[in-house]
Amino acid sequence: MEYIRQASQRGKADFGWLNSHHSFSFGRYYDPAHMGFSVLRVINDDIVKPGYGFETHGHRDMEIISYVISGELEHKDSQGNQSVIPAGDIQRMSAGSGILHSEFNPSDENPVNFLQIWIQPAVEGIMPSYAQKQIIQDEAVTPIVSPTGSNTAISVNQDMVLYRVVLKEGESARLPVGQRAGYLHVIKGQAQVGSHTFTPGDGYGITEQDAIEVTASETTEALWFDLPPMI
């Protein structure tokens, strides 16, 4: 099965201080054809103006991942965690049994652009937790989130792996799928998968295929989600 989500067709929200594009149903945007993919529930492409952000609010039973594309994002939560997440870091908050947090752009001059990613957890009601790590891109396809974590990846409460894919013009990467589900989200550049061309904000989901080959038409940055099988 192929699932194509074009950037231009995503849900939109513009609150002045926040401009957001939703790959899947979120908040006021609802589309039953786009409720998520496997355990991947949310990809919001957010741009927050300098000095603004999300006031303290609550979550529970969700793995929330922040991937900063440009700028910096300041995080505070009711577990006592407080940090600034720069571009080049990956952050995960396991909401578990319940947590309050806020996210702000600490800059007086520059907007912050980040992806807010929600993963449905494997187990509910766990103790809330937090993790943050600088991304070390040691090869074209590098794991940055995994069930147990690693020297390049933070841990997550789900049987999934999130890879950062960085390809130069003309380079290719083979991304295994097998009996699982895979989802590609393009951040920068242009990528070819078979007869399909994807540009920033585009998404591509795939099941029931051994692997896909991604070829960069120009320098490309993308995220590849290795997910549990579709139910």
pLDDT single digits (tens) 91-139: 999 999 999 999 999 999 999 999 999 999 999 999 999 999 999 998 9
Percent of the chain whose pLDDT exceeds 70: 100
Confidence at residue 197, expressed as pLDDT on a 0 to 100 scale: 98
Tokens describing residue 87: 């571009």
- Whether the CB-CB separation of 106 and 72 falls below 8 Å is answered with yes
Residue whose structure tokens are 């952000």 = 53
- Whether the CB-CB separation of 167 and 139 falls below 8 Å is answered with no
Indicate the DSSP class of residue 43.
E
Burial class of residue 38, CB neighbours in 10 A (0-12, 13-18, 19+) = buried
Facing residues of 142 across strands? Answer: 164
Helix, coil or strand: residue 9: helix
Report, as an integer, the average pLDDT of 25-36: 96
Say how many C-beta atoms besides its own lie within 10 A of residue 25's C-beta.
17
pLDDT bucket at 38, cuts 50 / 70 / 90:
very high
Q: Is residue 231 over pLDDT 90? A: no
What domains can you pick out in the chain, each with its CATH number? Answer: 2-227 (2.60.120.10)
- Whether the CB-CB separation of 57 and 101 falls below 8 Å is answered with yes
Confidence at residue 85, expressed as pLDDT on a 0 to 100 scale: 97
Q: Is residue 169 over pLDDT 80? A: yes
Confidence at residue 192, expressed as pLDDT on a 0 to 100 scale: 97
Q: How far apart are CA 149 and CA 136, in angstroms?
A: 13
Whole-number average pLDDT of the chain: 97
